[in-house]
Amino acid sequence: MTRSLWFFLKVGLLVALAVWLVQRPGTVTIDWQGWLIEMRVAVLAALLLGIAMLAALGYRLWLALRSGPGAFGRRRRANRRDKGYRALTQGMVAVAAGDAEAARRYARQAEGLLNEPPLTLLLSAQAAQLQGDDQAARKYFQAMLKRRETEFLGLRGLLTQALKRGDRVEALEHARRAQQLQPKAEWPAVALVELEAASGHWIEAEAALDRAQRAKAIPADLARHRRAVLLVEESRQDAAEGRLEEALQGAQKAHDLNPASVAAAVQLAMLRARTGNVKAAGKVLEQAWRAGPHPDLARAWGAVAGLDDPLALVKRQEELLRLGPDCAEAHLALGEAALKARLWGVSRMHLEKARALAPTARVHRLLADLAQAEQGDGPAYRDALARLATAAPDPAWVCRSCGSTALGWSAVCRHCGGFDTLDWTVPGALPRLGAGSDDGPTALVSPTTHPRSADPHASGPPTAADQRLAPLL
């Protein structure tokens, strides 16, 4: 618009000048070096204008000839770059839309057009992942390791792949290297805690937890909870290897950090009893029992006393009942002890009270055992079995990652290898994590709901728990 206005203005000026000259006729005479030229003013003006135009044209031509090849090359390169970035953008859009084929095509185009390996490698890796071509994705991730700016991202991709394959050893290596590269980054810090723990490296996991906490990659309450979990496992290992003093210190620390942890309380009580302090052991269990009765505490209550006589054990469990008379757990523990001591009447009385308070499978199983012990496989036993078949399930240590039930607490799920995933709950009541989930990087931190926790390690097949550690690029 401005250009055309400018053009019309110039034409207008020329026309005005021409008209002005025509209206003022006259001649110009040039006498120079024996030459005598005479012409009309208008002709001279036209001549001068023509010469000026020719000079301008010549100057432009000279400029174009001078910078010709360079300018052409620059234009070509700029064109390629534009096309490359367009392909890159379209590729990213295709990745976001889940169009694997288009993503791969644009990735290849961008790779050919752009000299930007960090960006094209990432797109190519994503496209390969989308197509399910793990081998190609691995190749790109490995190529990313060779460049400083993409190394961290490449490690993340390789870590994800290793977890998918269930190769925790390789995953651990990548997580360690990623943490060295970026000590303040969140995902390597959290992944390291889980991977070290899943490998049974309690001390290394604790050190990783320290680093994660320093990097503020893990909330303080979750860090405290996890430290207690690790300390219980460390204490168990120390105790198993005869380092009772260290074991006791570890258990005490775990109990102090998380007084609600059944595992820590049981571990501390057992160690106190083992080092000859049965009274202190009882105190720990008593305190934990008041906070929330639990079958593991009831068992430990009997065990720390070191009683062989079944009748003495009945007396011991009666003390537990005195801590809370309407406690189903206490009646159940006492009913079971009485059953072992062949005190049928006492056993029946407490089991019936437990059934009235919480009619779950465990009490029905003990009632069936009692009926069988008293009257053999008669009608009473069969009736008890029928009631058992329809009884509500009891709470158990359930892995919130894979849903499997464990006989006892451990820091690592023996089935899926998930760290700190066991909760004391009714099986089937927890929503499962990981399975089929598409968790992003933030999902590295397990949920912070930890109802109750209690024991040692294992390494199982890789599964959904690992998927939580598997942030996709």
Q: Using CA atoms, how far apart are residues 443 and 331, in angstroms rounded to an integer? A: 42
Closest to 136 (Cα-Cα) out of 154, 124, 119, 120: 124
Separation between Cα atoms, residue 269 and residue 274, nearest integer Å: 8
Closest distance of CB 398 from Zn ion, Å: 9
**CB of 248 or CB of 399, closer to Zn ion:** 399
Identify which of 178, 183, 215, 216 has the alpha carbon closest to the alpha carbon of residue 195.
178
Q: Mask: binding to Zn ion, 207-246, rule CB under 5 A, as x and -?
A: ----------------------------------------
Complex with Zn ion: residue 288 or 433, whichever CB lies closer:
433
Given a contact cutoff of 8 angstroms between Cβ atoms, the answer to whether 125 and 134 are in contact is: no
Select 265 or 402, whichever has its Cβ closest to Zn ion. 402
Of 236 and 415, which has the nearer Cβ to Zn ion?
415
Among residues 259, 316, 267, 310, the alpha carbon closest in space to that of 289 is found at: 259
Yes or no: say if 455 and 263 are a contact pair by the CB < 8 Å rule.
Answer: yes
**413 counts as binding Zn ion under rule CB under 5 A:** yes
Binding mask 249-268 for Zn ion (x = CB under 5 A): --------------------
Between β-strands 27-32 and 35-40, what pairing exists: parallel, antiparallel or unpaired? antiparallel
Residue 416 binds Zn ion, judged by CB under 5 A: yes
What part of residues 161-190 is at the interface with Zn ion (CB under 5 A)? none
Long-range CB contacts (< 8 A, 24+ apart) of 155-161?
A: 155/181, 155/188, 156/187, 156/471, 156/473, 157/125, 157/129, 157/473, 159/191, 159/469, 159/470, 160/470, 160/471, 160/472, 160/473, 161/134, 161/137
348 to 387: interface string for Zn ion, x by CB under 5 A? ----------------------------------------
Q: Which is nearer to Zn ion, 351 or 396 (CB)?
A: 396
**Interface pattern 267-296 for Zn ion (x via CB under 5 A):** ------------------------------
Cβ closer to Zn ion: 239 or 399? Answer: 399
Q: What are phi and psi of 459, to 5 degrees?
A: -130, 125
Closest approach, Cβ 341 to Zn ion, in A, equals 37
* Positive/negative CA dihedral, 391, 395, 400, 401: negative
Q: Which stretch binds Zn ion (CB under 5 A): 140-148, 265-273, 396-404, 440-448?
A: 396-404
Alpha helices in 199-243 (DSSP H): 202-214, 220-240
* Residue from 91, 154, 157, 418 in contact with Zn ion (CB under 5 A): 418
Q: In this complex, which beta carbon is closest to Zn ion, that of residue 367 or of residue 464? A: 464
Give residues 322-351 in contact with Zn ion (rule: CB under 5 A). none
User: Least distance from C-beta 405 to Zn ion, angstroms?
Assistant: 10
Instruction: Give the span between the Cα atoms of 339 and 335, in whole angstroms.
Output: 6
Interface region with Zn ion, contact rule CB under 5 A, candidates 168-176, 187-195, 330-338, 402-410: 402-410
* Cβ-based nearer residue to Zn ion, 179 or 453: 453
Nearest-approach distance from CB 317 to Zn ion, in angstroms: 32
> CA-CA distance, 444 to 189, in Å (whole number)?
10
Residues binding Zn ion: number (CB under 5 A): 7
Neighbouring-strand partners of residue 149: none
Cβ–Cβ < 8 Å for 188, 182: yes
- Contact with Zn ion (CB under 5 A) among 175, 232, 351, 399: 399
| Residue closer to Zn ion (CB basis): 418 or 456 | 418
Residues binding Zn ion (CB under 5 A): 399, 401-402, 413, 415-416, 418
